[in-house]
Amino acid sequence: MGDKRSRIIKALKDAQKSPVSGEDLGTKLGISRTMVWKYIKSLQADGYEIESSPKRGYVLKSVPQLLYPEEIQMGLKTTLLGKKIHYFEEVTSTNSIAKEIASSEEEGTLVIAEVQKGGRGRMGREWVSPHGGIWMSVILKPGISLRHASRLTLVAGLAVANVIRNMGLDARIKWPNDVRINGKKVCGILTETKAEVDRLEY
């Protein structure tokens, strides 16, 4: 179902607010107009504003300000990160879920939530995680020595800071795991590991 939802969203976005008929969507997806209608209803229930006209078709007016996997994956240009996304409205901690599933999931899998009730930072400190933030964990399996694990935090921080700088904001890293803009923290990175002997499992 997720793939067809994504393809409907993409088709409506590509139309740039011009109507797309149910027949055209059905032909592209290989499904009936009735099934298209059901997918549209599902998207509307999830917050997508889609106008429907029997004669003209469907027009996407706006998308929800939520971290839906379909929206994230359409914006990614990676070969590894985000191929699979576990989405939750609310969790205790995305890191806790990632640790539970890491052994059975592919590298690059994301766990993302709208709210964390028990988010944590370094040394077990509380990390307040209300609606409006990006609370996520990524499962990595780099196969490096355990003594090099701390480098992952620095590399992640540099990547986040570079992306923010590319948007015209002066992002700076505060050692060892914070990214700040004008002295205010905008990102914290918590790296948790499992190792066998001296090699990282994840």
Q: What is the mean pLDDT of the chain?
A: 92
- The answer to whether the predicted template modeling score (pTM) of the entire model surpasses 0.85 is no
**Is residue 202 assigned to a domain?**
no
Examine the pLDDT at 193 and tell me if it is beyond 80.
Answer: yes
Q: Are 21 and 33 in contact (CB under 8 A)?
A: no
Q: 54: domain CATH number?
A: 1.10.10.10
Residue in 3, 134, 9 with CA at minimum distance from that of residue 59: 9
132 within domain boundaries: yes
pLDDT at 1 over 80: no
Same-domain check for residues 92 and 159: no
Output the pLDDT for position 9: 94
Sort residue 106 into left (φ over 0), alpha (ψ -120 to 50) or beta. Answer: beta
Position 163 confidence tier, pLDDT thresholds 50, 70, 90:
very high
- pLDDT tier for residue 195 given thresholds of 50, 70 and 90: confident
131 shares its domain with 159 = no
Structural domain of residue 150, as residue ranges?
A: 145-194
Long-range contacts made by residues 90-93, C-beta under 8 angstroms, separation at least 24?
A: 90/114, 90/115, 90/116, 90/117, 91/115, 91/116, 91/117, 92/116, 92/117, 92/118, 93/118, 93/119, 93/120
Q: What is the CATH number of the domain that holds 128?
A: 3.30.930.10
How far is the C-alpha of 135 from the C-alpha of 115, rounded, in Å?
7
Task: Collapse the DSSP code of 13 into the 3-class scheme (helix H, G, I; strand E, B; otherwise coil) and give the result.
Answer: helix
The three state secondary structure string of 132-164 is CCCEEEECCCCCCEHHHCHHHHHHHHHHHHHHH
| pLDDT for 116 | 95
Digit-coded pLDDT (tens) for 35-76: 999 999 999 999 999 999 888 999 999 999 999 998 999 889
- Kindly state whether residues 39 and 86 are assigned to the same domain: no
Nearest to 193 by CA among 143, 149, 137: 149
* Residue at 199 is within a domain: no
